[in-house]
Amino acid sequence: MSAHEWQVRQVQNRMEAKRRELDRVVIKLGRLLAAIEDGLYSRRMKIRFQQLEDQAARLRAALQIDGDRLQSLKVQGGNGSGKDVATLVAELRATDDEYAILKLRRMLGPP
């Protein structure tokens, strides 16, 4: 396994772990909401709910960052090199040329 493939695998594994953790947090939030709907409510529950919401927000942000990182790694090892991407970004900074935008989109692949 090449160093590039290893990096891709590491990011994918990290993302999967964060997805599982986010799933667990969402389940806990659902249980707290169900308890509140059943009439159970305390200040402690409110604090715990906020903690879980904050944790879910952090996990979503981390997944977004890892997703961007994974996309970057795929670009570097796939259709275009990091140098190609940098060249296109420089072109886009200089002009809003639609052709350069399309080339970059093709290089990055589908969202």
45 and 89 in one domain?
Answer: no
Looking at the 3D structure of the chain, how many domains does it have? 2
105 and 52 in one domain?
Answer: no
The full DSSP string for the chain is: --HHHHHHHHHHHHHHHHHHHHHHHHHHHHHHHHHHHTT---HHHHHHHHHHHHHHHHHHHHHHHHHHHHHHHHHHHTTS-HHHHHHHHHHHHH---HHHHHHHHHHH---
Decide if pLDDT at 54 tops 70.
Answer: yes
103 and 72 in one domain?
Answer: no
62 and 96 in one domain?
Answer: no
- Domain ranges, residue 87: 81-111
Give residue 97's pLDDT band: very low, low, confident or very high (50, 70, 90): low
Average pLDDT score over residue span 31-53: 91
How far is it, in rounded angstroms, from Cα 53 to Cα 55? 5
Decide if pLDDT at 6 tops 90.
Answer: no
Its pTM stands at 0.64
